Amino acid sequence: MLVKNLRVGIVARLEILGALKLVRKVMALLSKEEILLERDVAKKFRKPSGDVQAFEKVDAIITVGGDGTVLFAQRLAPNVPILGINLGERGFLADVKPNEVEQALRKLRAGKLQIIERGRLAGMAYGKRLPDALNDVVICPASVGKTLTVKVVIDGENAMDVRGDGVIVATPTGSTAYAHAAGGPVVDPRLKAILVVPICPSYPRLVPLVVPMGSHIEVEPTRPGRDAQIIVDGRPATKLRCGEKVKLHWSDNPALFFQWSEFYSKAREKL
């Protein structure tokens, strides 16, 4: 039985080859539904766009692009389930292939796609809440070409001192992204754990850590005059000076996705 009055938001990275054509196809397949277009998409099609409040009220968001497009949509409406169509290189978050679009949308309209949760990280710096991270929080040098020295404390215990390009604190979802490139393990996203991965440390004995989801992690720059930059899911958030801390823990607000492909099949294909 088809779901009636489905409200669908569409977010796309239109500069990717084939994205515009694919958005037109999605809109045609959902012509009987209520469609809300993200600002850039609406501008291209010369249609009204939806604001943030409107996107937060849709039943589903469809993204056309890559994993970065999914992250953008997730920031736009954190509590709405996402179905990602992949035109990028990786496709761990956007995992519907272009030739599967019609099948995926048919199942979406029929209410046959399971909604799954992906854990996120919550953070505080300067007493202010950072955006929740679906993939990772990266603490890196604020100045290009400089190294950074940071202390990582986990549940009150000094876990590592990193001198290098910084440290990545990642979710299992983020374990296939930057953390994987930095030498971290691939973690099944069904596990509730946090990864701490040093980036290019000067001391090879430093190894990535996988810690329980209930852990509280503090990262503090310790070298005077070497500020750190905090990057949340690829977007700059704020800076830290020597002696200041960013505090990270498991968020109470998971991200929502419509399940399409299986994790291990994606890992075999893409890694």
Instruction: Print pLDDT tens along the chain (271 aa).
Output: 455 679 999 999 999 999 999 999 999 999 999 999 999 999 998 888 877 788 999 999 999 999 999 999 999 999 999 999 999 777 889 999 999 999 999 999 999 999 999 999 999 998 899 999 999 999 999 998 899 999 999 999 999 999 999 999 999 999 999 999 999 999 999 999 999 999 999 877 799 999 999 999 999 999 999 999 999 999 999 999 999 999 999 999 999 999 999 888 888 888 7
Per the residue annotation, which of 51, 67, 132, 227 is the catalytic one? Answer: 67
- Distance (Å, whole) CA 245 – CA 136: 17
Question: CB–CB of 71/11 below 8 Å?
Answer: no
Query: Whole-angstrom distance between the N-terminal and C-terminal Cα of the chain?
Result: 37
Model confidence pTM above 0.85: yes
pLDDT of residue 203: 74
Question: CB–CB of 241/227 below 8 Å?
Answer: yes
Q: In what side-by-side order are the strands of the sheet with 148-154?
A: 128-129, 121-125, 246-250, 217-221, 148-154, 157-164
User: Domain 7-118+254-270: what homologous superfamily?
Assistant: Probable inorganic polyphosphate/atp-NAD kinase; domain 1 (3.40.50.10330)
Q: Which fold has domain 121-250?
A: Tumour Suppressor Smad4 (2.60.200)
Domains of the chain: which residue ranges?
7-118+254-270, 121-250
Helical H runs in the chain?
A: 19-29, 39-45, 52-55, 67-76, 101-109, 178-181, 263-270
Q: Is 67 a catalytic residue?
A: yes
pLDDT of residue 69: 95
Question: CB–CB of 170/179 below 8 Å?
Answer: yes
